[in-house]
Amino acid sequence: MHPLSTESGASPAPRPGPHHTADRPAVPARLEVRDLSKTFAGVTVLDRATMSIAPGEIHALVGQNGSGKSTLIKLVSGVHRADPGGEILVDGEHVGPPVHPRRLFEQGLAFVHQDLGLVPDLSVRENVRVGRHATRRLTGWIDRRRDREAVRRTFEFLGLPLDPDAKVASLQPSERVAVAVARALQDREAGSGVVVFDESSRAIPRESLPAFYDMIRLLASQGTAVLLVSHNLKEVLAVTHRVTALRNGRVVETGVPTADLDEAALTRLVLGREGRLDNLVATLPARLAPGTIQIDGVAGGRVRDFSARITPGEVVGVTGAIDSGLPDLAALLGAVRPAEGRIAVEDRPAVDLAGAGVPDLMAAGVALIPQDRAAQGLALSLTVEENVTAPHLMNRGHVWWTGRKWRHDETDYVLDTFEVRPRQRDAVVATLSGGNQQKVLMGKWLLGRPRLLILDDPTQAVDVGARSAILHATRQAAQQGTAVLLCSSEVEDLAAVCDRVLVLVDGEVARELVVPLTPESILDATFPPAAGGAA
């Protein structure tokens, strides 16, 4: 089978040994990252990240959404500039920061992103050679013959019989990935450099994944270093040699051999939360109210079919492996990402997610507290009061006058209820800690007394005190008649606050757990013995 064939398979084939092994003489790392940090608006999102990748190694970078993976890749690719003090080296040579995007290829770095960055209406040749066209000496016109020959040589190396003049729109998904890889490898000596696959496998249908894995192995067998950023744990375990895990903006483990891990161990490495919380279900028992929230047939991303019935006053958790669809679910339900399906809130007309936006869900009484509070939940440059009261201006204010007393009163309520520090209505949100920012975000939406509250990993990147306050507020919201859907990978949170837990497998609800819940029972349901291992 050539590297880009589309023969289907249930899971990746066993990984080969790395090109470079520990018992050989030490050689410079192909890619080395030392103490890279990044701060946005006073908030540190990446803190002294360090890792190294050997020639011929397939190295995984894993972590939850918001853990810092994307920031690290953007620093290495030159999209963002790192804070002073860090260093990026290729084959022992300093290449940044600052990294100059136009010089990345000469510095030995190539990137294949999730969206592939291809132009469907252009030819394979035009997509591969963009920015690197051969030109005629006298006229400066593009030399199509030389371009076509360069593309042919690259595809020959990859074992691909692609027509350089074919339109990209006519290609199979795995062939489009090959075009993106060919663009990254063109004119480069075999076995050199580093190729970063940034969630590239998410754009590939399952039946074409074995071909993608074969391509990665081919590159590594030649000596090229590969960095694979992935949420797919089975992929990481079966394809890569070592793994680096990010959590809350910090590298918690780096260089861990994947041969020493199984799926449950890798999940614990990614999640990393330890310690038990108070049983809030017992402390604040459910007060079920009349009515029903019905969610039907939600699909999008890795979610294939999510349906659930929730009673007002109930906290229902949703969990699953990282590749189960869990990271996509809350954004689909909150109309942040394109989705199919319907949400019916009590006796109100059902909302069709295919044509709905956030205002439609707000009108139906649905509120989403997103995982990425900085990008989607808060206006960091505004004050606490401006953030807290913004969603309620239409109901409480007027076109010509927003009112002052109610804004002060409701902001004070949030500051006191959630113990936000500092207790200042005019504090700029960007100056608050991550935990206090999350408290402001929770208070902002709970003030509106939503009928359905969707939470997306609300305790991520917060300290123990903020975590307890957020979960306590979640349970109190349910006691006041709100139906809560808590999408979380934190099994301790789920055990402490949920009346039921739904377990996602391959984008569908596979199991349902009821109280009494424990972190161990939730983990066992998420990773039963039959589904464990690298498969």
Whether residue 115 is predicted with pLDDT greater than 50 in this model: the reply is yes
Query: What average pLDDT does range 323-346 have in this prediction?
Result: 93
| pLDDT one-digit tens code per residue, 366-392 | 999 988 777 777 888 899 999 998 887
Whether residue 20 is predicted with pLDDT greater than 80 in this model: the reply is no
Q: Quick one: which of 84, 27, 82, 75 has its CA closest to 52?
A: 27
| pLDDT one-digit tens code per residue, 393-442 | 777 656 556 778 888 998 998 898 888 888 899 999 888 877 788 889 88
15 or 379, which is more confident?
Answer: 379
- CA dist 211 and 315 (Å) reads 42
- Sign of the alpha-carbon torsion through 73, 76, 78, 81: positive
Structure-derived torsion over alpha carbons of residues 490, 496, 498, 499, reported in degrees to the nearest 10: 150
Query: What average pLDDT does range 139-157 have in this prediction?
Result: 69
Alpha helix locations (H) across 167-308? 173-185, 209-221, 233-239, 263-271, 280-283
* Strand pairing report for 87-90 and 31-40: antiparallel
* pLDDT band per the 50, 70, 90 thresholds, residue 67: confident
328 or 268, which is more confident?
Answer: 328
What's the pLDDT score for residue 23?
Answer: 39
CA atoms in the 13 A half-sphere facing the CB of 89: 17
The partner residues of 198 in beta bridges, in order of sequence, read 113, 229
The partner residues of 223 in beta bridges, in order of sequence, read none
Query: What average pLDDT does range 46-54 have in this prediction?
Result: 94
- CA dist 138 and 510 (Å) reads 66
Query: What average pLDDT does range 194-206 have in this prediction?
Result: 78
Helix/strand/coil percentages in the chain, nearest 5: 35, 25, 40
Whether residue 95 is predicted with pLDDT greater than 50 in this model: the reply is yes
Structure-block tokens of residue 447: 């003030």
SS3 226: strand
- Could you say which DSSP state residue 91 is in? T
Distance of CA 403 to the CA centre of its chain: 39
Say if residues 451 and 345 touch (Cβ distance below 8 Å). yes
Q: For the chain, what percent of residues have pLDDT higher than 70?
A: 83
The DSSP element (H or E) to which 149 belongs, if any, is: helix 144-158
Q: What is the mean pLDDT of the chain?
A: 82
In the block, residue with structure tokens 């019916």: 344
Q: What are the residue boundaries of the structural domains of the chain, listed by start?
A: 25-108+190-272, 119-187, 280-379+448-531
The DSSP element (H or E) to which 198 belongs, if any, is: strand 194-198
Q: CATH class for domain 25-108+190-272? A: alpha beta
What's the pLDDT score for residue 160?
Answer: 67
Q: Quick one: which of 494, 379, 384 has its CA closest to 439?
A: 384
Please check whether the two domains, 25-108+190-272 and 280-379+448-531, share a CATH topology: yes
* CATH number corresponding to 280-379+448-531: 3.40.50.300
Say if residues 477 and 287 touch (Cβ distance below 8 Å). no
Structure-block tokens of residue 95: 């290449």
